[in-house]
Structure 1
Amino acid sequence: MKKIIFTLLTGLMTTLIFAQDSGKFDLTASLHNQWYWRGYAVGPDPIIAAQASFKYKGLEVGTWNGYGLAGQWKDVDLYVSYTTKGGLSIALWDIYNYSDYAASPSYAGYGNHTQSNYFNYGTGTRHFFDLSVAYTIPSTSLSLFASTIIEGRDRNADGSQRYSSYVKASYDFTINEDVSVTPYISTGFALNSDNDGTFWQWTDKAVADSKSVGINEIGINISKPVKITDSYSIKANAGVVASPLNHTMTGLLGVTLF
């Protein structure tokens, strides 16, 4: 499966580059006080992130890259997605984290992975493949998202895949035409866990509890455009999120520069 997925990603990216005359390239960059992902701050320091993509009708291929300003957290991802005219989106991400967690006393147990082999898709790989679907119910602002790690760094002790899965519901409220308020809730579980553990249990206590199903997040996010000059604005967002599964509460702040 690893070779098939990698070949699919490479082939789609190549095909879309040759279709560039009828598609378009896009680029965004953002700053965050930390990188929070599905229940935990996996990047504990301020980070800068960039996303570059090529879009052709409903198909999109691209890369997302994040780097901690303290030189600790590093992540580079490839993805391909397709969105139907009805708003259903399917995406496959190859996520590769090569952080130096040893540089932070509180995260040292996660190790230093800066020397990991990007092209290793076998035992000890730092890759994992995340397959997801997203859908906003018509005539509402209710968005649903579900994903499963189908291959890579999410394994039981015997090397089999756990298939950790994640389901999220969010609802957007627009206030004063430019402020968006989004409460959300998510849960995590595994389809094939040998000890009830999942990929979403980050803290020592969460790992020790080994709950087969748990609430990953209960949070709220507020975003609005902030005018810098007459011709330039940024999008700012802030919020707070609790993770009952990990016994944490996290404050979040970010700005999209362009």
Structure 2
Amino acid sequence: MRTHLLLPLLAVFAAAPATPLAAQEFSLGADLMSRYVWRGTDFGESASVQPTLAFSAGGFEIGTWASYGIAPEAADVNEHDLWISYGFETSSGTFTLGVTDYYFPNAGVPFFDFSDGGGAHWIEPFVAYEGPASFPISLFAGVFAYNDPDNSVYLEASYPFALDGVSLAFTAGASGGRSGLYGTDGFALINLGLSAVKEIQVTESFVLPVSVGYIVNPDMEKSYLVFGLSF
């Protein structure tokens, strides 16, 4: 199933005339979140600080992202990830191929243990698509190809729009099959949500993005309302 999912997307990439993204820049920042909810699951039940550092050039991007729970009891689910990706534009939209390395510092496994089935690193190759301005849908497909006995698949679609100066997006995400990571016995919707972002003018030169997300995990029958500040 995973091969059947990825190969058609790769065939589309190969057939489409490609233009590498030309931006070259460092980007850095941090989010302060009331909860860390990832793909429909609350990790740590704590507010968290989530820093990001990335560099992009000629379509390539390499970066690192982390989430650190503010509550001491949330330390077990602290997370520090690395990713590398390549994005290119076509007449049909922007395509991205990439790999994310998930690492949990307090899981009790040394950082340099790269063994499969018990090491410190969970590896997820992914493909993503962002439609043109006329139809700005976003699609994502990822599979945990290393260190996950279930090789968990995640599929997501998102559609952005704006209303009264607020940026909104509907998101639908699903586990592609049986997964201990997502707690599913088969294909299941695990991440349905509506997110909203508004920029608040604090001073003449400083704008503070504020976000709120309403998230429902139908498979677990749980919902969350998450607030965030971006710096």
Give the C-alpha shift of residue 116 in structure 1: 2.2
Q: Which has the higher helix share?
A: 1
For 2:54 and 2:139, locate their aligned partners in 1 and report how far apart those are by CA, in whole Å: 23
Runs of 5+ consecutive residues of structure 2 not aligned to the other structure? 1-22
Alignment equivalent of 2:139, drawn from 132, 138, 144: 144
- Residue 4 of structure 1 aligns with which residue? none
Secondary structure at the aligned position of 1:84 is classed as strand
Give the C-alpha shift of residue 89 in structure 1: 1.2
Give the C-alpha shift of residue 228 in structure 1: 1.2
Runs of 5+ consecutive residues of structure 1 not aligned to the other structure? 1-21, 100-112, 156-161, 191-195, 202-209
TM-score w.r.t. length of structure 1: 0.73
- Residue 100 of structure 2 aligns with which residue? 93
Aligned partner of 1:74: which letter? N
State how 1:184-199 maps to structure 2 within 5 Å: 184-190=171-177, 196-199=178-181
8 Å Cα contact 2:48-2:70 kept in structure 1: yes
CA-to-aligned-CA distance 1:102-140 (integer Å, 9 cap, x gap): xxxxxxxxxxx2x32111121422320111111122221
Aligned partner of 1:119: which letter? F
> Which consecutive aligned stretches of 4+ in structure 1 deviate over 6 angstroms post-superposition?
none
- Residue 242 of structure 1 aligns with which residue? 216
Alignment equivalent of 1:168, drawn from 143, 156, 160: 156
State how 1:197-236 maps to structure 2 within 5 Å: 197-201=179-183, 210-236=184-210
Give the C-alpha shift of residue 167 in structure 1: 0.7
State how 1:1-258 maps to structure 2 within 5 Å: 23-71=24-72, 72=75, 73-86=77-90, 87-99=94-106, 113=107, 115-122=108-115, 123-138=117-132, 139-152=134-147, 154-155=148-149, 162-176=150-164, 178-190=165-177, 196-201=178-183, 210-257=184-231
For 1:225 and 1:241, locate their aligned partners in 2 and report how far apart those are by CA, in whole Å: 21
8 Å Cα contact 2:124-2:143 kept in structure 1: yes
How well do the aligned residues superpose, as a CA RMSD in angstroms?
A: 1.6
- Residue 17 of structure 2 aligns with which residue? none
Q: How many residues align?
A: 201
For 1:39 and 1:116, locate their aligned partners in 2 and report how far apart those are by CA, in whole Å: 25
For 1:98 and 1:248, locate their aligned partners in 2 and report how far apart those are by CA, in whole Å: 27
CA-to-aligned-CA distance 1:55-82 (integer Å, 9 cap, x gap): 1121011111221112324111111011
Q: Which has the higher strand share?
A: 2
For 1:43 and 1:83, locate their aligned partners in 2 and report how far apart those are by CA, in whole Å: 32
Give the C-alpha shift of residue 227 in structure 1: 1.2
For 1:199 and 1:125, locate their aligned partners in 2 and report how far apart those are by CA, in whole Å: 15
Deviates more, 1:30-39 or 1:133-142: 133-142
8 Å Cα contact 1:181-1:223 kept in structure 2: yes
Secondary structure at the aligned position of 2:138 is classed as strand
CA-to-aligned-CA distance 1:129-153 (integer Å, 9 cap, x gap): 111111122221211111111112x
Aligned partner of 2:153: which letter? S
Percent identity reads 25
Give the C-alpha shift of residue 189 in structure 1: 2.1
CA-to-aligned-CA distance 1:10-35 (integer Å, 9 cap, x gap): xxxxxxxxxxxx94322111100111
For 1:23 and 1:70, locate their aligned partners in 2 and report how far apart those are by CA, in whole Å: 37
8 Å Cα contact 1:92-1:130 kept in structure 2: yes
8 Å Cα contact 2:35-2:46 kept in structure 1: yes
Secondary structure at the aligned position of 2:225 is classed as strand
